[in-house]
Structure formats: structure tokens, C-alpha cells
Structure 1
Amino acid sequence: MQKEEAFYIGYITKTKGLKGEVQLYFEFEDYEALDLDVVFADLNGKMVPFFVSSYKLYPNQTGLFYFDDLDHIDKAQALVKKKVYMPLNKMPERDEDDFTYDDLKGYTAVDETHGELGEIIAINEYPQQFVATVLYKEKEILFPLNEDMIVEIDEENKTLLVDLPEGLLDIYLNS
């Protein structure tokens, strides 16, 4: 399997005990809905499958996992800090009504004052808010995604109308 055929769910944070148990931190929001029978770890650029023999999920976005053929802490240690993926066909189906800030990636951002800013190339989640990244006049600009900034989301035309605070673009363009 190639990385393009998979979606990222989280990473291994540590080993637990001596029998090869590992802790997985989920960065995938709806991790409880995942069918966790097999996961893929990115080991030096190769997607290596790990078959789950048992697991227990916790409300703090973590889970403890035992994998087949991983029966000792020394074998499990190699997975620490490795990113974990699942095949795209295992992605849970979302309701059409479930729209998240991540869905705005690829949309065109338009400011009420400055006009078209450009395509949203990334959405980053920070503890207090989501932040969009747009390439505007050959500079990366960042702006928060919240109810105060967003005027309208046009799903049909894939545009996001925003009202950026006065001076925000100047900070990026004058640096």
C-alpha cells in the first residue's frame, strides 16, 4: 500500500509493559468509528501492516494496542514516534451535513475588502482555533477560522467569504 491510498490517524507515543503493547495517540477526530483490525505504520517511507490482536480506546484520544507478532517491548520500541495510517476504504462515512473546517482545504478564500486571496492550501488546528493558510501575492498568510471572520461558505462554488481584520494582510505583505 502507498501513502496516497491511506489516511493518517495518529502516531505511536510509547510502549507499555513488556509484552509489546503500545499507546496510539489519535489525531483523527472520529477515532471511535474506525474499524481497527489492521493499521499501517510508516517505517522509513514504507507502509508496513500491523494486525491488531486487541485494543482498548480511551476518551483522551488514545488507545492501547497489541499487534500480532509484536510480543516483546524490544519489537514494539521500533514503532515509537511512527505515524499510523489506515486504508482509504476504511474511512468512516460522514453524513452530508457533517462539514468541518478541514473541508475548506482547496476552497478559494475571498476577503470582503481585498477580494480574492487565493486557494486555502492548509488548515491547521491549534488549541483555541483552526487557522487557514493561503498563498497570497507569493506570501503565505494565515488567518483564524471562526464565526467572527467567516461571512459565508459557498459549498457549490467552493468559496469562503471572510472579513479579515484591518491590517492583517499588511503584517504579511510588509515583512
Structure 2
Amino acid sequence: MTEYIHIGRIVASHGVHGDVVVVHSLGSRNNFKDVKALFVEQVKNSYIPHFISSATARDAEQTQVKLEGTDSKESAHRLIKKNVWITEADFNRIADKNAPISLLGYKIYNRQDLLGTVEEVIEQPHQVLLKTNFKNKEVLVPLHAGTLEAVDRKTKEVRVILPDGLLEIYLEN
């Protein structure tokens, strides 16, 4: 079964020919080279392929994309605010290795204790949150200068030192 990685969302249409602007967290200027399709979540948990005709990177976070079958401003407008996904294989090929999103699948350790595997990366203005499942509870691990101890890309591990009591807050209920 194909695995999909959430990379961002469509935020605007551009021009009158159906181009859309995708804001992504791939970590570098990206024109989706050799990516055949973006999967747009038009309905919750549905990954509808939209084949790429062309794409132009605007900056490290935005790419202007022309999708097949989206040929008017109105058809592009239907896709605004929709989540965008790509296949895991495409993600592994085009994501910047230093981007926070590249931590997906890494094991998270608090000191020596395994918390779980990174299931989602949530980027906020002053920190990154790593979502994991610890003792059958969803836990958001803050990742910033005060908590990050090390990232080992070879062993795919993130080591943090969490403030006392943070995990207990998640485990109370």
C-alpha cells in the first residue's frame, strides 16, 4: 500500500489559467521535479491525484503549480485550503534532509527513554512540535534550543531533554 506524506496545502489560485500556489514544508525551493502527481485531500482521508503539468518554485516555502484539468481560476479556487500530500518515495527524493519534516519516522528519546516514533511534524513560529504516541496517548514534543539534545540522522533518532512534568500532563487523562 502506498504511504502518503502531508507536505502542505494549497493557499491561493494564480492567474486565470488555473495555476495554484502550494505552501509546503519541504525545506528548500522545490519545483516538484519528477513528481507526477500531488494528492489533494478534497474529502477527509481521501488522496485524489492531481497530475502536475508544470511547477515553478517561488521561494523555499511556495511553489506555483499547474495541475492537469485545472484550467480556470474557478476550478483552481475549489482547491484552495485543501491539504496536499505526496508519496513517501517522492518525499524521500525531494525533501531537504535538514528540514524539520525530514524527521518523520525518527525515534524520539527523552534522555534514555524511548517515547515513540515521529508521526507528524508541526511547524510553529518559534518551535517545532513532534507528534508521537506514548503509552497510548498522543504527545506533542517541543523541539527548540531548550529541549533538543541531538539529532542522529544515521540511526534516525531525535534526543530531547523535556521539562519535568511535561509527559505527566499528557498521561493524566
- Measured against the shorter chain, the TM-score band is 0.5 to 0.7
CA–CA distance in structure 1, aligned partners of residues 7 and 104 of structure 2:
19
The 1:136/1:33 distance shift into structure 2, 3 A limit, reads: same
Deviation of 1:31 after TM superposition, in Å, equals 4.3
Larger Rg: 1
Name the SS for the 1:32 alignment partner: coil
Q: Does 1:141 align with 2:142?
A: no
The 5-angstrom pairing of residues 1-175 of structure 1 reads 4-32=2-30, 34-35=32-33, 38-42=36-40, 43-44=42-43, 45-52=46-53, 54-59=54-59, 61-91=61-91, 92=93, 98=97, 101=100, 102-103=102-103, 105-111=105-111, 116-122=113-119, 123-153=121-151, 159-174=157-172
SS at match of 1:169: helix
Structure 1 residue 16, shift from structure 2 partner? 2.8
Contact 1:5 1:88 survives alignment (8 Å)? yes
Deviations 1:113-146 (A, max 9, x none): xx52521343322211122334444443333223
SS of 2:75 mapped into structure 1: helix
Please report how far the alpha carbon of residue 154 of structure 1 lies from its aligned counterpart in structure 2 after TM superposition: 5.5
Instruction: Please give the TM-score of this superposition, normalised by the length of structure 1.
Output: 0.67
TM-score calculated relative to the size of structure 2: 0.68
Find the aligned partners of 2:39 and 2:104 in 1 and give their Cα distance: 27
Deviation per residue, 1:6-64 (Å, 9 max, x gap): 44433222223332222222232234263066323334424223231x44321262233
Percent identity of the aligned residues? 23
Q: Helix, strand or coil for the counterpart of 2:74?
A: helix
Counterpart of 1:163, as a letter, is: I
Unaligned runs of 5+ in 2: none
In structure 1, stretches of 5+ residues that fail to align are none
Q: How many residues align?
A: 167
Structure 1 residue ranges, 4+ long, deviating more than 6 angstroms after superposition: none
Q: Is the 8 A contact 1:8 1:28 kept in 2?
A: no
2-side partners of 1:107 and 1:158: how far apart? Answer: 6
CA 131–67 in structure 1, closer or farther in 2 if over 3 Å, else same: closer
